[in-house]
Amino acid sequence: MKKRISRLVSLTAAVTVISLLTIITPRTGSAAAPTSGQDMLVDALDAAIVRVIDSGKLREIMEPVESYTVYISDCYPSLEETPYPENPVGILAKILETKQISVGTFITEGLSGSYDVYLPINVEILEAVIAELSTGYNLDPPIEIVRIPIAIPSSNLMFTKLNNGDFDISDLSGAIGGTATVSGKSQRRRKLARFTCTLESSGWYLQVKEGSSYQSFQDVVEDAGATVCCGMMSSRLAKAYFKDQTIENITEDDLDLCSEGVLDGTYAAYLHFDPAPVATGLKTINTGLVSGVPIWVAGGPDNATDPCEAVEPDCPLTSAVNNNNNVLDLLRQVRDNRLKNKKAVQMVELYYANAPEISQILKNDRKLKNELRNLIIKNICVAEKLLRTGQASVDQKVIDKIISFLTLLKPKASPRLTSDIDLLLWGIKNGRYLNAIGVNIAQ
């Protein structure tokens, strides 16, 4: 009997809701498959990052590299505007429940040069963010960082493993503006995966020989015969901006080898993040370029995303109101701001399971689709009242029309949906499920 009662909720969200009472349930649910909750995890990390910025902790950590640090303000330290997500799902729920977060980390032992300048800084920043995430969700003990080694410091390998689910998030690595190759296809990183607020960023400078004829970034760009030396951190940037030049990528000891090469004439310039000359006899040219590094979260579809927003053909509500954005926005505001009790949380997961079938039925039955549309549009005031006060009343005639709609839907439904409809009719008639979402029948 418990199973049958719980399945009833799916139709509550699919139809009573559909008639404007339950279809506006919140986007939440229980911990789901590894391909869900990525968007929520980004929001949670952003909330933690904003608090690290607001506390002054980020600047404190960055002090050793302050001279070549630029702060990209793509996330303002506005705490009220960046709350921690409620009712975590999927990957975020898993992290909070297990109190562990796996982080893809390059093995950098033995590497030297500009690459290792930020390594201790990266460790401190990530620890500060995850500590803040633990505080935000009142976890004691806090979340443990479990580092998953990436044998080769390759962004291609990092993004491949991230999207395969080998770890939950990346370490601080991979500038947002770059590309990466996954499954043999080169793509912009911002399309391959999700990313947080920028945590680290720096400007880029050309280190050239004193007395050189180069006076500007453009001078080097226009010299097709020039060879530009770079380290691991700037190789992709160099290839993108110096298309006609030869790029010499030094994976180890680039600070010494590139600067020596510029001084002895082997290289025309060394692309580096330090605004000060790295060796006597060099001068710097500001390129005006700045790149930033976030934390990366897996790309691909998020199964916890509201199908009404992401997969419109599978959403009965979107289909019924013909993508009327004003109506959809209002209903989503009610869902996100008013319907947060435990029963509503259960509703949404079950609603998503039934939404594709109901959508297909509506697609094949225009009359039934119009019935639903009329129910929603004519009772939009119910949603407005719920949004303002959290409570609303409907006339018995509205309930009768809902029952009529369900009765028309039932012969077209699968056995599971039919069973849910029967239980839903029982729940509507006794008022139990309407009360759960703040709706009463006017006397």
For the chain, domain boundaries: 2-27+306-441, 38-200, 202-292
pLDDT number for residue 188: 87
Tell me: the pLDDT tens digits for 411-441?
A: 988 877 777 777 677 767 777 667 767 777 7
Within its chain, how far is the Cα of 334 from the centroid?
Answer: 22
Tell me: the pLDDT tens digits for 305-357?
A: 544 444 344 566 555 555 566 666 677 777 667 666 655 555 555 565 567 77
Nearest residue to 93 via CA among 145, 41, 20: 41
> Is-contact 109 119, C-beta < 8 A?
no
pLDDT number for residue 214: 96
Nearest residue to 305 via CA among 258, 246, 348: 348
Q: Give residue 135's pLDDT band: very low, low, confident or very high (50, 70, 90).
A: very high
pLDDT number for residue 378: 77
CATH architecture for residues 202-292 = 3-Layer(aba) Sandwich (3.40)
Tell me: the pLDDT tens digits for 220-263?
A: 999 999 999 998 888 889 999 999 999 998 877 888 999 999 99
CA dist., res. 135 & res. 123, Å (int): 18
| Cα distances (Å, whole numbers) of residue 259 to 177, 206, 239 | 26, 11, 19
- What are the structure tokens assigned to 266, written together? 């082997």
pLDDT number for residue 320: 58
- Would you say the pTM of this structure is higher than 0.85? no
pLDDT number for residue 425: 75
Q: Which residue has the tokens 């893809």?
A: 104
Nearest residue to 233 via CA among 46, 62, 48, 68: 68
CA dist., res. 283 & res. 278, Å (int): 9
> In a 3-state reduction of DSSP, which class is residue 1?
coil
In the predicted structure, residue 29 carries a pLDDT above the cut 70: no
User: With the CA atoms of 214, 220, 224 and 229 taken in that order, what torsion angle do they form, in degrees rounded to the nearest 10?
Assistant: 110
CA atoms 407, 413, 418, 423: torsion sign: negative
270 bridge partner residues: 207, 229
In the predicted structure, residue 3 carries a pLDDT above the cut 50: no
CA dist., res. 17 & res. 244, Å (int): 60
> Is-contact 156 236, C-beta < 8 A?
no
CA dist., res. 263 & res. 84, Å (int): 51
Residue range 205-233: average pLDDT? 94
pLDDT number for residue 258: 94
